[in-house]
Chains A and B, each alone.
Chain A
Amino acid sequence: MEYQKAAELNGLCNGKIVTEYLCRNGFSELSVDTKKVAVQHKNETSRKEAEDESRLPALEAAYTTILRGLGENTDRQGLLKTPLRAAKAMQFLTKGYHETIYDVLNDAIFDEDHEELVIVKDIDMFSLCEHHLVPFFGKVHIGYLPSKKVVGLSKLARIVEIYSRRLQVQERLTKQIAMAISEALQPVGVAVVIEAAHMCMVMRGVQKMNSRTVTSAMLGVFREDPKAREEFLALTKSA
Protein backbone atom coordinates (compact mmCIF):
# COMPACT_ATOMS: atom_id res chain seq x y z
CA MET A 1 0.00 0.00 0.00
CA GLU A 2 2.88 2.27 0.68
CA TYR A 3 4.19 1.78 -2.84
CA GLN A 4 0.95 3.14 -4.12
CA LYS A 5 1.35 6.27 -2.07
CA ALA A 6 4.94 6.58 -3.17
CA ALA A 7 3.89 6.65 -6.78
CA GLU A 8 1.43 9.44 -6.19
CA LEU A 9 3.50 11.67 -3.98
CA ASN A 10 6.08 13.82 -5.62
CA GLY A 11 5.02 12.27 -8.88
CA LEU A 12 3.59 15.48 -10.21
CA CYS A 13 4.20 14.42 -13.76
CA ASN A 14 3.89 10.69 -13.52
CA GLY A 15 0.21 10.90 -12.62
CA LYS A 16 -0.30 10.16 -16.28
CA ILE A 17 1.78 7.00 -16.11
CA VAL A 18 0.21 5.77 -12.93
CA THR A 19 -3.38 6.03 -14.17
CA GLU A 20 -2.50 3.68 -17.01
CA TYR A 21 -0.63 1.27 -14.81
CA LEU A 22 -2.19 -2.17 -14.47
CA CYS A 23 -1.44 -5.30 -12.52
CA ARG A 24 1.25 -7.36 -14.05
CA ASN A 25 2.78 -10.69 -13.23
CA GLY A 26 5.44 -10.19 -10.71
CA PHE A 27 4.29 -6.64 -10.12
CA SER A 28 1.16 -7.43 -8.22
CA GLU A 29 2.33 -5.64 -5.10
CA LEU A 30 2.40 -2.45 -7.07
CA SER A 31 -1.18 -2.40 -8.22
CA VAL A 32 -2.64 1.06 -8.13
CA ASP A 33 -6.15 2.19 -7.49
CA THR A 34 -6.64 4.38 -10.55
CA LYS A 35 -9.53 6.39 -9.13
CA LYS A 36 -7.53 7.40 -6.11
CA VAL A 37 -4.63 8.44 -8.26
CA ALA A 38 -6.75 10.54 -10.59
CA VAL A 39 -8.07 12.55 -7.66
CA GLN A 40 -4.59 13.09 -6.30
CA HIS A 41 -3.37 14.23 -9.67
CA LYS A 42 -6.03 16.94 -9.91
CA ASN A 43 -4.94 18.46 -6.64
CA GLU A 44 -1.29 18.71 -7.58
CA THR A 45 -0.06 21.78 -9.37
CA SER A 46 2.34 21.12 -12.16
CA ARG A 47 5.07 23.56 -12.93
CA LYS A 48 5.86 24.59 -16.43
CA GLU A 49 8.93 26.38 -17.59
CA ALA A 50 7.08 29.58 -18.37
CA GLU A 51 5.90 29.76 -14.80
CA ASP A 52 9.44 29.61 -13.48
CA GLU A 53 10.17 33.15 -14.53
CA SER A 54 7.02 34.49 -12.92
CA ARG A 55 7.83 32.79 -9.64
CA LEU A 56 11.35 34.13 -9.36
CA PRO A 57 10.49 37.37 -7.50
CA ALA A 58 8.71 35.51 -4.71
CA LEU A 59 11.62 33.11 -4.37
CA GLU A 60 14.08 35.98 -4.35
CA ALA A 61 12.20 37.75 -1.61
CA ALA A 62 12.13 34.55 0.42
CA TYR A 63 15.89 34.11 0.08
CA THR A 64 16.49 37.71 1.10
CA THR A 65 14.46 37.06 4.25
CA ILE A 66 16.52 33.96 4.94
CA LEU A 67 19.82 35.78 4.55
CA ARG A 68 18.72 38.54 6.90
CA GLY A 69 17.36 36.02 9.38
CA LEU A 70 20.76 34.33 9.45
CA GLY A 71 22.36 37.58 10.52
CA GLU A 72 24.08 38.40 7.24
CA ASN A 73 24.32 41.81 5.66
CA THR A 74 22.43 41.53 2.38
CA ASP A 75 24.00 44.72 1.03
CA ARG A 76 27.54 43.48 0.98
CA GLN A 77 29.07 42.89 -2.40
CA GLY A 78 29.15 39.10 -2.29
CA LEU A 79 25.48 38.80 -1.37
CA LEU A 80 23.92 41.45 -3.59
CA LYS A 81 22.66 39.07 -6.25
CA THR A 82 22.61 35.96 -4.12
CA PRO A 83 18.80 35.77 -3.71
CA LEU A 84 18.40 35.69 -7.48
CA ARG A 85 21.20 33.18 -7.98
CA ALA A 86 19.96 30.96 -5.17
CA ALA A 87 16.39 31.07 -6.51
CA LYS A 88 17.54 30.08 -9.98
CA ALA A 89 19.79 27.38 -8.55
CA MET A 90 16.89 25.95 -6.58
CA GLN A 91 14.67 25.98 -9.66
CA PHE A 92 17.37 24.13 -11.57
CA LEU A 93 17.77 21.59 -8.80
CA THR A 94 14.02 20.88 -8.92
CA LYS A 95 13.57 20.99 -12.68
CA GLY A 96 12.43 17.38 -12.70
CA TYR A 97 8.95 18.57 -11.82
CA HIS A 98 8.21 19.85 -15.27
CA GLU A 99 9.70 17.03 -17.28
CA THR A 100 7.68 14.00 -18.24
CA ILE A 101 8.89 10.50 -18.90
CA TYR A 102 7.00 10.38 -22.15
CA ASP A 103 8.81 13.39 -23.55
CA VAL A 104 12.08 11.69 -22.90
CA LEU A 105 11.33 8.13 -23.84
CA ASN A 106 8.78 8.02 -26.58
CA ASP A 107 11.09 7.89 -29.52
CA ALA A 108 13.86 5.72 -28.18
CA ILE A 109 12.20 2.35 -27.60
CA PHE A 110 13.32 -0.21 -30.13
CA ASP A 111 12.25 -3.73 -30.94
CA GLU A 112 15.28 -5.89 -30.43
CA ASP A 113 15.47 -9.63 -29.94
CA HIS A 114 17.75 -9.40 -26.92
CA GLU A 115 17.08 -11.36 -23.76
CA GLU A 116 20.19 -10.79 -21.74
CA LEU A 117 20.77 -8.41 -18.94
CA VAL A 118 21.39 -4.78 -19.89
CA ILE A 119 23.07 -2.66 -17.25
CA VAL A 120 23.92 1.02 -17.12
CA LYS A 121 25.91 1.70 -13.98
CA ASP A 122 27.64 4.57 -12.18
CA ILE A 123 25.11 7.16 -13.26
CA ASP A 124 25.91 10.24 -11.15
CA MET A 125 22.84 11.42 -9.35
CA PHE A 126 22.18 14.69 -7.50
CA SER A 127 19.02 15.27 -5.58
CA LEU A 128 17.64 17.34 -2.70
CA CYS A 129 16.54 15.87 0.59
CA GLU A 130 12.89 16.87 1.04
CA HIS A 131 13.25 17.07 4.79
CA HIS A 132 16.13 19.52 5.05
CA LEU A 133 16.47 20.91 1.52
CA VAL A 134 20.11 19.84 1.52
CA PRO A 135 21.70 17.86 -1.34
CA PHE A 136 22.28 14.16 -1.44
CA PHE A 137 24.25 12.64 -4.26
CA GLY A 138 25.64 9.37 -5.38
CA LYS A 139 25.48 6.76 -8.09
CA VAL A 140 22.63 4.86 -9.64
CA HIS A 141 22.98 1.42 -11.20
CA ILE A 142 20.15 0.27 -13.43
CA GLY A 143 19.69 -3.15 -14.96
CA TYR A 144 16.82 -4.64 -16.88
CA LEU A 145 16.03 -7.87 -18.71
CA PRO A 146 14.36 -6.83 -21.93
CA SER A 147 11.34 -8.58 -23.34
CA LYS A 148 11.56 -7.75 -27.03
CA LYS A 149 11.94 -4.03 -26.35
CA VAL A 150 15.10 -2.16 -25.49
CA VAL A 151 15.50 1.50 -24.64
CA GLY A 152 18.17 3.96 -25.71
CA LEU A 153 20.85 3.83 -23.02
CA SER A 154 21.01 7.51 -22.30
CA LYS A 155 17.27 7.43 -21.65
CA LEU A 156 17.93 5.46 -18.50
CA ALA A 157 20.15 8.29 -17.32
CA ARG A 158 17.50 10.80 -18.33
CA ILE A 159 14.90 8.97 -16.28
CA VAL A 160 17.27 9.23 -13.33
CA GLU A 161 17.62 12.96 -13.97
CA ILE A 162 13.88 13.57 -14.12
CA TYR A 163 13.19 11.88 -10.83
CA SER A 164 16.27 12.98 -8.98
CA ARG A 165 15.93 16.70 -9.74
CA ARG A 166 13.11 16.98 -7.22
CA LEU A 167 12.64 17.12 -3.48
CA GLN A 168 13.15 13.48 -2.78
CA VAL A 169 13.48 10.65 -0.36
CA GLN A 170 16.00 8.08 -1.54
CA GLU A 171 13.62 5.15 -1.15
CA ARG A 172 10.98 6.82 -3.27
CA LEU A 173 13.48 7.88 -5.91
CA THR A 174 14.65 4.28 -6.35
CA LYS A 175 11.12 3.03 -6.70
CA GLN A 176 10.06 5.75 -9.12
CA ILE A 177 12.95 4.99 -11.45
CA ALA A 178 12.20 1.26 -11.38
CA MET A 179 8.51 1.79 -12.00
CA ALA A 180 9.06 4.21 -14.85
CA ILE A 181 11.23 1.70 -16.67
CA SER A 182 8.75 -1.12 -16.00
CA GLU A 183 5.93 0.94 -17.31
CA ALA A 184 7.71 2.08 -20.43
CA LEU A 185 9.28 -1.20 -21.56
CA GLN A 186 7.33 -3.97 -19.87
CA PRO A 187 10.57 -5.88 -19.39
CA VAL A 188 10.98 -9.24 -17.71
CA GLY A 189 12.55 -7.51 -14.76
CA VAL A 190 14.09 -4.24 -13.58
CA ALA A 191 16.69 -3.65 -10.88
CA VAL A 192 17.76 -0.26 -9.56
CA VAL A 193 20.39 0.29 -6.88
CA ILE A 194 21.25 3.73 -5.51
CA GLU A 195 24.20 4.45 -3.26
CA ALA A 196 24.29 8.01 -1.99
CA ALA A 197 25.82 10.30 0.59
CA HIS A 198 23.33 12.53 2.38
CA MET A 199 24.67 15.95 3.27
CA CYS A 200 21.97 16.24 5.92
CA MET A 201 23.83 13.46 7.76
CA VAL A 202 27.34 14.57 6.84
CA MET A 203 27.21 18.34 7.27
CA ARG A 204 24.83 18.49 10.20
CA GLY A 205 22.96 16.33 12.67
CA VAL A 206 24.86 13.17 13.40
CA GLN A 207 27.84 14.29 11.21
CA LYS A 208 29.12 10.99 9.96
CA MET A 209 31.44 11.80 7.08
CA ASN A 210 31.75 8.44 5.42
CA SER A 211 28.29 7.01 5.75
CA ARG A 212 26.46 5.96 2.60
CA THR A 213 22.85 4.97 2.14
CA VAL A 214 22.06 2.14 -0.27
CA THR A 215 18.55 1.44 -1.51
CA SER A 216 17.36 -0.94 -4.16
CA ALA A 217 14.23 -1.78 -6.08
CA MET A 218 13.93 -5.22 -7.65
CA LEU A 219 10.95 -5.89 -9.88
CA GLY A 220 9.89 -8.91 -11.88
CA VAL A 221 12.43 -11.63 -12.36
CA PHE A 222 14.97 -9.79 -10.23
CA ARG A 223 12.65 -10.08 -7.30
CA GLU A 224 11.77 -13.72 -7.86
CA ASP A 225 14.96 -15.27 -9.17
CA PRO A 226 17.95 -14.99 -6.86
CA LYS A 227 20.37 -15.89 -9.62
CA ALA A 228 19.33 -13.00 -11.82
CA ARG A 229 19.66 -10.68 -8.85
CA GLU A 230 23.10 -12.05 -8.07
CA GLU A 231 24.26 -11.54 -11.62
CA PHE A 232 23.10 -7.94 -11.56
CA LEU A 233 24.72 -7.23 -8.20
CA ALA A 234 27.98 -8.90 -9.23
CA LEU A 235 28.18 -6.88 -12.43
CA THR A 236 27.49 -3.58 -10.71
CA LYS A 237 29.90 -4.06 -7.85
CA SER A 238 32.75 -1.62 -8.27
CA ALA A 239 36.22 -3.13 -7.87
Chain B
Amino acid sequence: MNFMASKQPENSLLGPEADSQRTLYPYVTGTSVVALKYKDGILMAADMGGSYGSTLRYKSVERIKPIGKHSLLGASGEISDFQEILRYLDELILYDNMWDDGNSLGPKEVHNYLTRVMYNRRNKFNPLWNSLVLGGVKNGQKYLGTVSMIGVNFEDNHVATGFGNHLARPILRQEWHENLSYEDGVRLLEKCMRVLLYRDRSAINKLQIAKITEEGTTISQPYSLKTYWEFSAFANPAQGAVGTW
Protein backbone atom coordinates (compact mmCIF):
# COMPACT_ATOMS: atom_id res chain seq x y z
CA MET B 1 0.00 0.00 0.00
CA ASN B 2 1.38 3.30 -0.89
CA PHE B 3 0.02 5.90 1.49
CA MET B 4 2.52 8.52 0.42
CA ALA B 5 0.92 10.95 -1.99
CA SER B 6 3.29 12.55 -4.46
CA LYS B 7 4.92 15.53 -2.84
CA GLN B 8 3.70 18.89 -4.09
CA PRO B 9 6.49 21.44 -4.39
CA GLU B 10 6.23 24.06 -1.65
CA ASN B 11 5.71 26.96 -4.03
CA SER B 12 3.80 25.17 -6.76
CA LEU B 13 2.76 28.48 -8.27
CA LEU B 14 6.35 29.10 -9.40
CA GLY B 15 8.09 26.72 -11.74
CA PRO B 16 11.41 25.13 -10.74
CA GLU B 17 13.48 27.58 -12.79
CA ALA B 18 11.91 30.59 -11.04
CA ASP B 19 13.77 29.74 -7.81
CA SER B 20 17.15 30.43 -9.33
CA GLN B 21 16.04 33.97 -10.17
CA ARG B 22 15.07 35.00 -6.67
CA THR B 23 17.37 36.29 -3.95
CA LEU B 24 17.24 33.64 -1.25
CA TYR B 25 20.25 34.65 0.85
CA PRO B 26 22.96 37.28 0.58
CA TYR B 27 26.49 36.33 -0.49
CA VAL B 28 28.83 39.32 -0.38
CA THR B 29 27.67 41.60 2.41
CA GLY B 30 28.56 44.96 3.88
CA THR B 31 28.04 45.67 7.56
CA SER B 32 26.55 48.69 9.32
CA VAL B 33 26.12 52.25 8.06
CA VAL B 34 25.68 55.10 10.61
CA ALA B 35 24.48 58.60 9.75
CA LEU B 36 23.38 61.76 11.55
CA LYS B 37 22.15 65.28 10.84
CA TYR B 38 24.43 68.11 11.89
CA LYS B 39 24.37 71.89 11.60
CA ASP B 40 25.18 72.17 7.88
CA GLY B 41 23.85 68.87 6.54
CA ILE B 42 24.33 65.13 6.88
CA LEU B 43 27.32 63.05 7.98
CA MET B 44 27.45 59.38 7.06
CA ALA B 45 30.05 56.70 7.88
CA ALA B 46 30.59 53.16 6.68
CA ASP B 47 33.55 50.83 6.64
CA MET B 48 34.92 49.41 3.42
CA GLY B 49 34.57 45.68 4.02
CA GLY B 50 32.75 43.17 1.82
CA SER B 51 32.44 39.84 3.62
CA TYR B 52 31.83 36.57 1.82
CA GLY B 53 30.21 34.62 4.63
CA SER B 54 32.81 34.53 7.37
CA THR B 55 35.81 35.55 5.22
CA LEU B 56 36.74 39.15 4.59
CA ARG B 57 36.89 38.97 0.81
CA TYR B 58 36.92 42.61 -0.30
CA LYS B 59 38.56 45.40 1.63
CA SER B 60 37.94 48.40 -0.60
CA VAL B 61 34.20 48.39 -1.20
CA GLU B 62 32.79 51.92 -1.33
CA ARG B 63 29.44 51.60 0.35
CA ILE B 64 28.55 55.31 0.23
CA LYS B 65 27.80 56.92 -3.14
CA PRO B 66 26.52 60.36 -4.15
CA ILE B 67 23.18 60.42 -5.96
CA GLY B 68 22.40 63.39 -8.15
CA LYS B 69 23.26 66.81 -6.73
CA HIS B 70 21.53 66.57 -3.40
CA SER B 71 21.82 63.08 -1.91
CA LEU B 72 24.11 60.42 -0.49
CA LEU B 73 23.22 56.73 -0.42
CA GLY B 74 24.83 54.30 2.01
CA ALA B 75 24.03 50.60 1.90
CA SER B 76 24.57 47.53 4.01
CA GLY B 77 23.71 43.99 2.93
CA GLU B 78 24.24 42.32 -0.44
CA ILE B 79 26.75 44.33 -2.50
CA SER B 80 25.49 43.17 -5.89
CA ASP B 81 21.96 44.38 -5.02
CA PHE B 82 23.48 47.73 -4.02
CA GLN B 83 25.15 47.98 -7.43
CA GLU B 84 21.79 47.19 -9.07
CA ILE B 85 20.13 49.96 -7.03
CA LEU B 86 22.84 52.37 -8.18
CA ARG B 87 21.98 51.51 -11.78
CA TYR B 88 18.26 52.16 -11.16
CA LEU B 89 19.10 55.50 -9.53
CA ASP B 90 21.47 56.36 -12.36
CA GLU B 91 18.63 55.92 -14.81
CA LEU B 92 16.30 57.93 -12.58
CA ILE B 93 18.70 60.86 -12.31
CA LEU B 94 19.47 60.70 -16.04
CA TYR B 95 15.81 60.97 -16.98
CA ASP B 96 15.42 63.81 -14.51
CA ASN B 97 18.35 65.66 -16.06
CA MET B 98 16.98 65.12 -19.55
CA TRP B 99 13.93 67.24 -18.66
CA ASP B 100 16.45 70.07 -18.26
CA ASP B 101 13.88 72.14 -16.41
CA GLY B 102 16.01 73.48 -13.61
CA ASN B 103 14.45 71.08 -11.11
CA SER B 104 16.41 68.25 -9.61
CA LEU B 105 15.36 65.28 -7.51
CA GLY B 106 15.96 65.96 -3.83
CA PRO B 107 16.69 63.43 -1.08
CA LYS B 108 13.02 63.09 -0.12
CA GLU B 109 12.08 62.13 -3.69
CA VAL B 110 14.93 59.65 -4.05
CA HIS B 111 13.99 58.13 -0.69
CA ASN B 112 10.42 57.69 -1.83
CA TYR B 113 11.54 56.08 -5.07
CA LEU B 114 13.76 53.64 -3.18
CA THR B 115 10.95 52.78 -0.76
CA ARG B 116 8.65 51.90 -3.63
CA VAL B 117 11.31 49.80 -5.35
CA MET B 118 12.18 47.87 -2.17
CA TYR B 119 8.58 47.29 -1.17
CA ASN B 120 7.51 46.11 -4.59
CA ARG B 121 10.41 43.69 -4.82
CA ARG B 122 9.52 42.34 -1.38
CA ASN B 123 5.93 41.79 -2.47
CA LYS B 124 7.16 39.64 -5.35
CA PHE B 125 9.26 37.58 -2.88
CA ASN B 126 12.42 38.70 -4.63
CA PRO B 127 13.91 41.35 -2.35
CA LEU B 128 16.94 43.53 -2.85
CA TRP B 129 18.84 42.37 0.20
CA ASN B 130 19.90 45.77 1.50
CA SER B 131 19.34 48.26 4.31
CA LEU B 132 19.75 51.69 2.78
CA VAL B 133 20.49 55.08 4.32
CA LEU B 134 19.58 58.12 2.23
CA GLY B 135 20.69 61.55 3.33
CA GLY B 136 20.83 64.95 1.68
CA VAL B 137 20.21 68.68 1.72
CA LYS B 138 18.04 70.63 -0.70
CA ASN B 139 17.12 74.27 -0.41
CA GLY B 140 18.43 74.37 3.13
CA GLN B 141 16.24 71.45 4.23
CA LYS B 142 18.19 68.52 5.70
CA TYR B 143 16.76 65.05 5.17
CA LEU B 144 17.90 61.69 6.53
CA GLY B 145 15.92 58.50 5.94
CA THR B 146 16.32 54.77 5.81
CA VAL B 147 14.70 51.85 3.90
CA SER B 148 15.06 48.20 4.77
CA MET B 149 14.83 45.16 2.50
CA ILE B 150 11.19 44.61 3.40
CA GLY B 151 10.25 48.19 2.68
CA VAL B 152 10.18 49.61 6.22
CA ASN B 153 11.06 53.27 5.81
CA PHE B 154 11.25 56.25 8.10
CA GLU B 155 13.22 59.44 8.55
CA ASP B 156 14.96 60.55 11.69
CA ASN B 157 17.77 62.73 13.03
CA HIS B 158 20.14 59.77 13.23
CA VAL B 159 19.91 56.30 11.68
CA ALA B 160 21.93 53.12 11.61
CA THR B 161 21.68 49.76 9.86
CA GLY B 162 22.58 46.24 10.90
CA PHE B 163 24.62 46.00 14.06
CA GLY B 164 24.64 49.76 14.26
CA ASN B 165 21.03 49.54 15.44
CA HIS B 166 22.09 47.76 18.60
CA LEU B 167 25.47 49.33 19.25
CA ALA B 168 25.43 52.82 17.71
CA ARG B 169 21.82 53.91 18.28
CA PRO B 170 22.00 53.91 22.11
CA ILE B 171 25.03 56.21 21.88
CA LEU B 172 23.36 58.47 19.30
CA ARG B 173 20.14 58.67 21.32
CA GLN B 174 22.08 59.85 24.31
CA GLU B 175 24.59 62.20 22.71
CA TRP B 176 23.00 63.64 19.56
CA HIS B 177 21.59 67.15 19.73
CA GLU B 178 20.50 69.78 17.25
CA ASN B 179 23.14 71.90 15.53
CA LEU B 180 26.14 69.69 16.08
CA SER B 181 29.27 71.27 14.65
CA TYR B 182 31.19 69.39 11.97
CA GLU B 183 33.95 68.35 14.39
CA ASP B 184 31.46 67.18 17.04
CA GLY B 185 29.51 65.22 14.42
CA VAL B 186 32.62 63.47 13.15
CA ARG B 187 33.72 62.73 16.71
CA LEU B 188 30.32 61.21 17.51
CA LEU B 189 30.33 59.11 14.34
CA GLU B 190 33.87 57.91 15.04
CA LYS B 191 32.81 56.95 18.57
CA CYS B 192 30.02 54.80 17.12
CA MET B 193 32.29 53.29 14.45
CA ARG B 194 34.92 52.46 17.08
CA VAL B 195 32.40 50.54 19.22
CA LEU B 196 31.27 48.72 16.07
CA LEU B 197 34.87 47.91 15.23
CA TYR B 198 35.39 46.38 18.68
CA ARG B 199 32.18 44.41 18.81
CA ASP B 200 31.01 43.57 15.25
CA ARG B 201 32.92 40.66 13.79
CA SER B 202 32.38 41.75 10.19
CA ALA B 203 33.64 45.30 10.72
CA ILE B 204 37.11 46.33 9.53
CA ASN B 205 39.30 49.24 10.52
CA LYS B 206 39.09 51.10 7.24
CA LEU B 207 36.27 53.55 6.92
CA GLN B 208 35.03 56.50 4.95
CA ILE B 209 33.05 59.42 6.30
CA ALA B 210 30.88 61.31 3.83
CA LYS B 211 29.50 64.81 4.23
CA ILE B 212 26.74 66.47 2.29
CA THR B 213 25.80 70.13 2.61
CA GLU B 214 24.05 72.67 0.43
CA GLU B 215 27.38 73.25 -1.33
CA GLY B 216 27.92 69.61 -2.33
CA THR B 217 29.19 66.20 -1.40
CA THR B 218 32.55 65.14 0.00
CA ILE B 219 33.50 61.53 0.60
CA SER B 220 36.70 61.27 2.60
CA GLN B 221 39.68 59.11 1.73
CA PRO B 222 39.72 55.79 3.58
CA TYR B 223 41.34 55.98 7.01
CA SER B 224 41.47 53.92 10.19
CA LEU B 225 40.53 54.57 13.80
CA LYS B 226 42.85 54.37 16.79
CA THR B 227 42.01 51.50 19.08
CA TYR B 228 43.06 50.76 22.65
CA TRP B 229 44.01 47.28 23.77
CA GLU B 230 46.21 48.02 26.78
CA PHE B 231 43.82 47.27 29.65
CA SER B 232 45.85 45.46 32.29
CA ALA B 233 43.15 42.80 32.66
CA PHE B 234 43.71 41.87 28.99
CA ALA B 235 47.43 41.40 29.59
CA ASN B 236 47.09 38.36 31.78
CA PRO B 237 43.45 37.31 32.08
CA ALA B 238 44.14 33.91 33.60
CA GLN B 239 46.12 35.43 36.44
CA GLY B 240 43.26 35.25 38.89
CA ALA B 241 41.64 32.08 37.58
CA VAL B 242 43.80 29.43 35.97
CA GLY B 243 42.09 27.80 32.99
CA THR B 244 39.93 30.76 31.92
CA TRP B 245 40.68 33.27 29.20
A and B interact physically:
no
- Chain A residues within 8 Å of B, Cβ to Cβ: none
